[in-house]
Amino acid sequence: MGQHLMKGNEALVHGALLGGATHYFGYPITPASEIAHAAAELFPRCGRHFLQAECEVSSINMLYGAAAAGARVMTGSSGPGLSLMAEGLSYLSGAELPSLVVDVQRAGPGLGYIWPEQADYNFIVHGAGHGSHNGIVLAPNSAQEMCDCAYQAFELAERYRATVFILADAYIGQVMEPVELPHHLLVNPHKEWALYGDAASRGNLHTSIYLKLEELEGHNRHLQEKYRRMEEEIVDYEEVATEDAEYLFVAYGITSRICHSALRELRGRGVRVGMLRPKTLFPFPSRRLAALAGQVKLMVAAELSAGQMVRDVRLAVDGKVEVELYNWMGGRIPTTDEIVERLAKTAAGRKA
């Protein structure tokens, strides 16, 4: 307990253990490897279970089996590993098995390299794997939030019987910062739907296959209703200086921290800039963005991709305000000065 200096990846494991995680299955991959390393050390020391799978295909299916038996399960990887997990992620959603899956994003496509990117957004936010399904997607922007997101993940996963994704980027996984660990240990509760190998749970069935058309359609409609409830109940975001903002940054992860620094400098120059940082990417803070669209002159979606989150921002505002994309790819991240000068030029041009 108390405050510790640690990497975001390590903070996540501490948060997960204090949040009641019982099993970790995974395979190391840069820039997420410290998650597996810390789990290998800490899970057994805490009386929990760690197993390094032979590959990511195995690890995601191990999550399925242990989750069906009532365990609080998790894994961590990066883009190439998540691609291998896609089929299993869809099975988890179809069977409504709660789990925690962490994606510390690296530059792609393909093997790319270990530099940071945010180009897994579409893959994770809009349904990892085949079929019409979603998971809850949390977007930390600090080592502290890596810990906090993991701490709350299992209770969210079990409330909705869904996968919770933590979508970070390489900088947030690798940054080393002071972290205040939670003071209360959460425990894994008994689950009426789980298979415990006893007579009472013998009738519990977990499957994603439905052989009758009407049953499969009914199951899909049930899932979509669950996702609508998430949108009503757990949307989360942070606002900075939006009260009088004429310009609005929309950013998550490392990009939000750079935009925050740019915002302070632009405010010093008399440019009224605010920021909305989605803390949940699914469900997305569409309603709040729609409300702000009536106030600001321009929204700027800042992201490390070819432009993925920007589509959700544009859908949210429905043409009521212009949304410009500031983007960087291949592992390059912007400087504060780069963002400041670009928006300052835009603001000066609009006044002229």
Q: Are residues 75 and 144 in the same domain?
A: yes
Is residue 314 located within the same domain as residue 165?
A: no
* Residue 2 pLDDT class (50, 70, 90 cuts): confident
Query: Are residues 125 and 262 both part of a single domain?
Result: no
Burial of residue 95 (CB within 10 Å: 0-12, 13-18, 19+) is: middle
**pLDDT for 237:** 98
Residues 276 and 161 in one domain: no
Q: Are residues 276 and 220 in the same domain?
A: no
169: number of Cβ within 10 Å: 32
Q: Is the pLDDT of residue 1 over 90?
A: no
Claim to verify: residue 168 and residue 271 sit in the same structural domain: no
How would you classify the pairing of strands 2-7 and 176-181? antiparallel
Q: Name, in order, each residue with C-beta under 8 angstroms of 164's C-beta and a sequence gap of 6 or more.
A: 98, 99, 100, 101, 135, 136, 137, 138, 153, 154, 156, 157
Q: For residues 41 and 37, what is the distance between their CA atoms, to the nearest angstrom? A: 7
pLDDT above 70: percentage of residues in the chain: 99
Tell me the C-alpha distance between 319 and 245, whole Å.
18
Average pLDDT, the chain: 97
Residues 167 and 35 in one domain: yes
Q: Say if residue 80 is in the same domain as residue 184.
A: yes
Among 233, 263, 283, where does a domain finish? 233
Cβ contacts of 179 within 8 Å, gap of 6 or more: 3, 4, 5, 6, 11, 14, 143, 144, 147
CATH at residue 283: 3.40.50.920
Task: Work out how many domains the chain is built from and give that number.
Answer: 2
- pLDDT of the residue at 18: 98
Q: For residue 89, which of 120, 48, 52, 51 has the smallest C-alpha distance?
A: 120
- Say yes or no: 229 and 241 in one domain: no
Domain closes at, from 233, 268, 300: 233
pLDDT digits (tens, 9 = 90+) for 57-66: 999 999 999 9
287, 315: one domain: yes
Domain co-membership, 229 together with 85: yes
Adjacent-strand bridge partners of 322: 298
* Helix H or strand E encompassing 133: none
Q: Copy the structure tokens of residue 62.
A: 């191990």
Final residue before a domain boundary, out of 233, 256, 285: 233
Q: How far is CA 15 from CA 2, 146, 181, 250, 301, in A?
A: 12, 8, 7, 27, 30
Collect all residues with Cβ–Cβ distance below 8 Å to 352 and sequence separation of at least 6: none
pLDDT of residue 342: 96
pLDDT of residue 352: 59
Per-residue pLDDT averaged across 262-276, rounded? 97
123-149 mean pLDDT: 97
Quick check: 276 and 286 in contact, CB under 8 A?
Answer: no
Task: Specify whether 79 is located in the same domain as 116.
Answer: yes
Q: Which residue has the tokens 């740019």?
A: 262
CATH number at residue 154: 3.40.50.970
Alpha helix (H) ranges present in the chain? 8-18, 33-45, 56-68, 79-95, 121-125, 143-160, 170-174, 213-233, 253-268, 286-293, 309-317, 336-351
Q: Please provide residue 230's backbone torsions phi and psi, each rounded to the nearest 5 degrees.
A: -60, -40
What is the rounded average pLDDT of the residues 85-97?
98
**Mean pLDDT of the region 17-22:** 98
> 321 with 293: CB under 8 angstroms?
yes
| Residue 198 pLDDT exceeds 90 | yes
Question: Are 77 and 103 spatial neighbours (Cβ–Cβ below 8 Å)?
Answer: yes
pLDDT at 349 > cutoff 90: no
Tell me the C-alpha distance between 130 and 288, whole Å: 30
Residue 350 has a pLDDT of 80
Range of the domain at 101: 2-233
Tens of pLDDT, residues 238-260 = 999 999 999 999 999 999 999 99
